Structure 1
């Protein structure tokens, strides 16, 4: 890669008909909805996609069908995070064979590795990778961060092409931007959509934002405004993004409410089913009614 990956790359929700059955028709509608919305790529098996909760069979089915549906129109990134080194490698190889373009790795999330151990883990894994690798910093779920020293060391690994940060720590993010200046082909992407405008204005390359599943055009326009340093337009679009997030992500009482809200909203929009992977279950009628009302207020349905 001579240029960093830029723009809005939605972390796809995984459309399910039940806990272990892919909603293939819904996946097709979702992929078309996002590509039509102008996104710069698709990221499957991330946090929003409930990746670690899906069976290995279902993960492979999702990868295969997403790549077939995408038909090379945008890059496809695949999350390969696992507690097993070998399973991460196996999924990366399968992704390459299916037509994916990148893989994404968060730290193993059961045994917390110390920084020297994590560096060795990344070094060993990169040698096995058939595709460019993004580091995925998600300490809220993995208990371990990719420290900036490790990221700096990763600049010398040709197989690593960037980092996605979902720590919500903007000091850390700004340090990543400074580190990445040494590699003009590196991407620094942010997860939380509430921080995407700021991140891009200050040198980030884009966002992997869950809300883009619902309203991709909004997020793409916000990214474009920030990338061109149009401050007034960025403020206006950022306010719309904050309104969407505040409306859809706050319906449930638990942390799972974000994914439940996105899935419920997509179901109401007629795009895909809203079943969840265990241990979670989709919103019931009361919450669904609230989501419908808020979609009306957001202008996404009449």
Structure 2
């Protein structure tokens, strides 16, 4: 299908289930996709941070995209990360994921090297010139160590270089600037990557959300999106607060022995395993696994949110 312009709605950054041997678990991946589609999500984002794209081999990245696009057969828009350190490496990923069926690519600023804004602009222009599909910027300073300035992004939007942005910066004031400026560029999508302020971002005028927690509770985020669009402020506030409490699961991992990514991605996968969606909760190496006691705490979060013991087709 043709990518909507702008891309709107709930677009989960899909987890990548792995086998105990840390190969892509394709049957679990496709069950997760079906779970998300049944919940009413509006698109899927493969190979992002929540997908553990940084840990996957190039062959595994392509395998994920090819499996999902073949399974969906055009039911929903599928966008895919082409995330790497430098422009030549990103271009290789763009060719691979679009060849596997992705309908747009998601690209960060260059990283590892210290990069000037002019080089970031050149990076996005070079990628857009070579890409056969739309390019969506990904602003995630915690990983890239560069914040994409609103004027840079909007300038590229105005030139037709960027089709949208996923903003995971957590900077709500800067996000407002993006939303306000995007009104001059019809078709440019502004999506938040924040689980905890989705309602606020939508109230500001965001086109949609890309929350990692939507893997675990896609029905909740679809409800939240619909409530926001219907101006049901009380319903949206209640749903967002429930989701914020559920998001507490990302903090169960002991920071004295594991990183924040290990804790968060491990929590999402443990929750999906507890809900019966995926076969194995293992994360990619060198991430440290959650302990049994930590997984029990995740189960309590699910129970409090009304998700444990429920059929995964819960509406």
TM-score with structure 1 setting the length: 0.95
1:17-45 deviation per Cα after TM superposition (whole angstroms, max 9, x unaligned): 14640111110110000000000011111
> For 1:21, what is the secondary structure of its paired residue?
coil
Deviation at 1:287, TM superposition (A): 1.3
- The Cα shift of 1:227 comes to 1.9
Question: Aligned partners of 2:52 and 2:295: how far apart in 1?
Answer: 20
- The residue matched to 1:134 in structure 2 has which SS? strand
How far apart, in 1, do the equivalents of 2:302 and 2:234 lie? 25
Provide the C-alpha distance between the structure 2 equivalents of 1:225 and 1:117, rounded to a whole number of angstroms: 41
Q: Find out whether 1:98 has 2:100 as its counterpart.
A: yes
What's the CA shift string for 1:160-212, capped at 9, x where partnerless? 21111001000100000112111110110000111110010110011100111
User: In structure 2, what is the Cα distance between the partners aligned to 1:250 and 1:239?
Assistant: 16
> 90-99 or 41-50, which moves further after superposition?
90-99
1:270 aligns with 2:276: yes
**Of residues 286, 289, 300 in structure 1, which corresponds to 2:296?**
289
Runs of 5+ unmatched residues, structure 1: none
Residue 252 in 1 paired to residue 253 in 2? Answer: yes
Q: Measure the CA separation in 2 of the matches of 1:147 and 1:295.
A: 37
**Alpha-carbon distance between aligned partners in 1 of 2:21 and 2:149, rounded to the nearest angstrom:** 35
Q: Secondary structure at the match of 2:130?
A: coil
Q: Once structures 1 and 2 are overlaid, which stretch shifts more, 29-38 or 3-12?
A: 3-12
Q: Give the number of equivalent residue pairs.
A: 301
Q: CA RMSD in A?
A: 1.4
User: What is residue 298 of structure 1 aligned with on the other side?
Assistant: 305
CA distance in 1, matches of 2:104, 2:21: 27
- Structure 1 match to 2:206: 204
* Greater Cα shift, 196-205 or 63-72: 63-72
Q: Which whole-Å CA distance do the structure 1 matches of 2:200 and 2:297 have between them? A: 30
Q: Give the match for residue 70 of structure 1.
A: 72
Runs of 5+ consecutive residues of structure 2 not aligned to the other structure: 310-315
Offset of 1:98 from its aligned partner? 2.0
Q: Is the contact made by 1:131 and 1:159 (CA closer than 8 Å) also made in structure 2? A: no
Give the whole-Å Cα distance in 1 for the aligned partners of 2:281 and 2:159: 39
Shift, 1:159, TM fit = 4.2
Tell me, what secondary structure is at the counterpart of 1:160? coil
Is 2:5–2:163's contact at 8 Å kept on the other side of the alignment?
no
Instruction: Output the TM-score relative to the length of structure 2.
Output: 0.92
